[in-house]
Amino acid sequence: MSYQARFRVWRGDEAGGELTDYEVEVNEGEVVLDIVHRLQATQTPDLAVRWNCKAGKCGSCSAEVNGRPRLMCMTRMSTFSPEETVTITPMRTFPVIKDLVTDVSFNYEKAREIPSFQPPEGVAAGEYRMAQEDVQRSQEFRKCIECFLCQNTCHVVRDHEENKAAFAGPRFLMRQAELEMHPLDARKRRAEEAQEEHGLGYCNITKCCTEVCPEHIHITDNALIPLKERAVDRKYDPLVWLGSKIRRRTG
């Protein structure tokens, strides 16, 4: 079944922009990115959009569809009624470059601030041995496709530009949690670093990062809250502190 759908697409750049209306054909089985491509092909060849795999695995086509952070390639048109006007805007947390393309370099800067995996002393590369049950928790976090929808929707930076310097965002706090739980990572104080240097305390666990994750990673429940609990262990819990002084445990 084909029909003519109404679309509103944000067009512009850093200097300003506007929502522009289009009418465009929609066919059965299509996704929002297909429609954006049809717009480029038939009506507005200068419409800027970032995309790559069209399979929900590259994380390139992040945008906001009807105000909800989504991958355009994974948003089926069948979820909208033919009468509905579909609004597409770029991610609203990052500076816009042109049309639907944003400058996501904030995320790369934050990625560089997370200390990388630190191998244990005396174990050479190639000699790492880990039990499956020890690594499977952090393997969930490796599903991340770096679409940055969680970074985009997190109100700590979305609604407060001034917090960008102090807050790493859910994606990179999850990276810190992944390494904190890693059975071979030798770096100490990752939970304290998360709290003191990467802004873990800004997270008020309202779970928007989890809601928008296209990989369905339980960011809040499995990464951020466990990281908060580890920070409590080391910074705020006198009983755990006392226990660690009496009996050294490596866990």
Partner 1 sequence: MSADTETNRQSDSSTLPPQRRPPGGVFSPRRAALTVRHLRTDRWWLPPAATAAGLLAFIVYATWRAFAGSHYYSEPYISPFYSPCLASSCPAMPGGARWPIFGSWWPLSPAVIILIVPLGFRMTCYYYRKAYYRAFWSSPPACAVAEPHATYSGETRFPLILQNVHRYFLYLSTIVAVILTWDLVLAFRDKHGSWGHAGLGTLVLLVNAGLLWTYTLSCHSCRHIVGGRLRHFSKHPVRYKLWGWIGVLNNRHMLLAWTSLFMVGFADFYIYLVSSGAFADPRFF
Footprint of partner 1 (CB under 8 A): 10, 12, 14, 16-23, 43-44, 64, 66-69, 84, 87, 89-90, 92-96, 102, 131, 133-134, 137, 153, 155-156, 158-163, 181-183, 199, 201-208, 211-212, 221, 225-226, 228-233, 235-237, 250-251
What is the C-alpha to C-alpha distance for residues 168 and 109, in angstroms, rounded to an integer?
9
Q: How far is the CB of 204 from partner 1 (least distance, A)?
A: 5
Nearer Cβ to partner 1, position 48 or 54? 48
Please give the single-letter amino acid code of residue 123: V
Q: DSSP code of 31?
A: B
Nearer Cβ to partner 1, position 4 or 55? 4
Nearer Cβ to partner 1, position 55 or 131? 131
Q: Rounded to 5, what percent of the chain is helix, strand, coil? A: 40, 15, 40
Nearer Cβ to partner 1, position 56 or 226? 226
Nearer Cβ to partner 1, position 205 or 242? 205
Q: How far is the CB of 245 from partner 1 (least distance, A)?
A: 16
The tokens for 141 are 């976090």
230-to-132, 190, 194 alpha-carbon distances in Å: 22, 9, 10
Nearer Cβ to partner 1, position 2 or 53? 2
Q: How far is the CB of 136 from partner 1 (least distance, A)?
A: 9
The tokens for 140 are 């969930």
The tokens for 36 are 């954006």
What is the C-alpha to C-alpha distance for residues 72 and 74, in angstroms, rounded to an integer?
5
Q: How far is the CB of 57 from partner 1 (least distance, A)?
A: 23
Radius of gyration of the chain (CA): 21
Closest by alpha carbon to 74, among 101, 51, 102?
Answer: 51
Q: How far is the CB of 224 from partner 1 (least distance, A)?
A: 9
Nearer Cβ to partner 1, position 53 or 134? 134
Phi, psi of 125 (to 5 degrees): -55, 135
Q: How far is the CB of 179 from partner 1 (least distance, A)?
A: 11
b/e 52-84 (16+ beta carbons within 10 angstroms → b):
eebebbbbbbbbbbbeebbbbbbbebeebeeee
Q: How far is the CB of 195 from partner 1 (least distance, A)?
A: 9
